[in-house]
Structure 1
Amino acid sequence: MITKEKNIKKINGTITSPKGFYASGVHAGLRYKRKDLGVIYSDKPSSVAAVYTQNLFPAAPIGITKQSIAYSNTLQAVLVNSGCANACTGKQGENDAYQMRAMCAEHFDLPEYLVAIASTGVIGEFLKMDMIEKGVKELKVGNEMEDGEDFGHAILTTDTVTKHTCYEVLVNGKIITIAGTAKGSGMIHPNMATMLSFITTDATVSSSQLQVLLKNVTDKTFNQITVDGDTSTNDMVLVMANGSVEHDELTIHHPDWEHFALAFQLVCEELAKKIARDGEGATKLIEVNVNGASNTQMANQIAKTIVGSNLVKTAVYGQDANWGRIIGAIGYSGLKGEFNQIDIAINGVTVLYNSKPVAFDEDEAKTALQNEIVYIDVHLHDGDCVGTAWGCDLTYDYVKINASYRT
């Protein structure tokens, strides 16, 4: 796929696609059969940026990763396990997280401060460190697409599919690659990120520039998704840039910065949408577009409120064009003032115009709601700002999955 920007191209790839990045995923035994321990490895120290969960009870790996990054703002490896979140595990959990980092550092002959760690799975259970140690010793990194796929499988929990995306962009006439892998299906209502998301690039860019870019893009992408309104203890988005493609260092003053930033945003947006679509038990992706707002913050807030409404989500699942649930969500979203010109359309079927009901064909609307992607378009006629959010429908299967999550 070629984007509107001719020098940005989507390609088939994984987090191993950028030059100098390697990965692996193995079955350590934390889960019954599936791969459950993975690593991303760079052949040189990389600039790094990260955003983390806003949950007041962050998992032990979050603190350890923050320490690693704070040491020199560089990383060379990220070790990730599924099956156990190592959250709310006290001093033992913290010690286990340090040990996990040390094992990875020893295996790859790295200083510990160049290693980050992440965990996902059940809260309140302790890591089985003998299995972690065994698994780390089995990690043999490669740079083939299947190595990236193995990593993608190793970080899943209730996800039904791996989530990858990859783009190329021209910088100083040279091809830069940006790739991403994520996991997330339930407990998705981030205030910074998603469950876990990892982005690699062979671009030459400083950690400080990456951090500003990541924060800005996260607000437009990962912060605009919701599955069930729950924010995990383990959420993290982490970016590594190893500079394997030599070019003039990217800054906001670089002539190709906007192209790089756009490609980076496309990677994050695709991962965010994949997470929303793979919500536990979900059958549809919902995209809410709010137009005509007085400011962007309000537009984003309204969009996320609509897509997070359980009543809207169940109506989409039931293929019921019940626009009353949408206007209700707008009403408690924080919007202030008098609005008598609101328009609402569901997959192209106008159901409200100038804040007045529109006679529409129920069968046509029901048919439109059978699509795998449901677009809800809202126009406030109060300005020229826009906002978008993504989520999924709420199904019977969501209850079944979470009623027996630990079993």
Structure 2
Amino acid sequence: MRTFLLLLVMGAAASSAAQPNAPAAFPYPVKTDTLPNGLTVVRVPFHSPGLVAYYTVVRVGSRNEVEPGKTGFAHFFEHMMFKGTKKHPEGERERILATYGFDDNAFTTDDFTVYHSYGPTAGLDALVELEADRFRNLEYAEPSFRTEALAVLGEYHKNEANPWLRMEERLLGTAFKAHPYRHTTLGFYEDIQAMPEAYAYSRSFFERWYTPDNTLLFIAGDFNDSELMADVREHYGPWNRKVARIPIPAEPPQTEKRTVSVEWPSSTLPRQVLAWHTPAASLTTPGAAIQAVLADYLVGSTSPVYKELVLGKQLVESLGSGFYPHRDPSLFSLHATLKAEESRPATEAALAQAIQELAAGKVDPARVKAIQSNIRYSLLMNLETPNDVAGQLAWYAGIFGTPDALSRHLQNVARVQPEQLVSFAKRYLVDSQLTVLTLTPAAGGKP
């Protein structure tokens, strides 16, 4: 689900880049075919004897939840996809995969949902048949639906104990007024409570979004390509639904600074978040690539602010950015976990000064280049298994909608120039685009 933890992890991944004139950022051969029904099938032969990763990306997330009272359904439906079919009733799929030793799970973001399996090539034929069956023929009765709705409510209550969920809810609800990004992937609490009564809607959600032309497969590892594609065509070929075309409400421009505070009822560390509205991610414009570099430049471990607040004065426990690319205009955020409430003014001042200096034209080209070099090699070091490869490809395809999104995004990052950071900060990191969130624990206390 979408949480600040997910933002932190994928925000770091989003920074990965290749330097100009360096070897290609994505080092493995890629084969891509599109079936007549619109399903995109991407294969990456990878030296991993006997192992294969299988990722299914459905481009539906909380951004698509436009009907009043129906938030949280993209995440909820991730749960329902494990409920079985007439051919393979609930539990049978899991039993079959367990006999082979597959690791199997799923996650939902603002913009897409991913289902992933990793295990032995010996089970690949069975996996293709099982996956195609549930994406074509998912079947569940209303009692099963109601039971899972209560489980999702329980998941919300579990996450509610973490300050980040409350912070995310308040930040998004303040920064957004119309776009579905105004709620978390879990959804509004009252909508989650009402989910058990939405069985009919859930069936339409499946028909609307779980379609071949809205789905990409990524398969990486040890496999026979011709045999794999024969299986894919056989089992996925009859899938014939078409994705719905439903407009997403546009967010009206923000015109003045907004603030929101969270009072946490128990002891924890104070927190501070600064979030600015920024453009939608695109492979034909540099905005997403600029923000990927900007995040490390402003608050990464080589930044003056990090050295001052975390290492030097030790006012801040952690400092980072919540940025990762989004399909629609979203937020570029900086966040700090403070060691004490008394550290807040100095932290705010240091972050404001860093942004003001950048917007005024003070930029270090050598550090920009070093960041790009470091994050390129960080990416390469994290492509060690078929699961790593398929996962990275799937993530960027979910956002940008094309199989080569990772490579193209990294090429864009490699082209970022220092002066682009300056112009971006000057245009977007301004008070009229800013929402500030503060979290204060009970009595300003520490954990």
Give your verdict on TM over 0.5: no
Which of the pair is proportionally richer in strand?
Answer: 1
Length-normalised TM-score, structure 1: 0.29
TM-score of the superposition, structure 2-length normalised? 0.27
Say which structure, 1 or 2, has more relative contact order (CA 8 Å, 6+ apart): 2
Structure with greater helix share of residues: 2
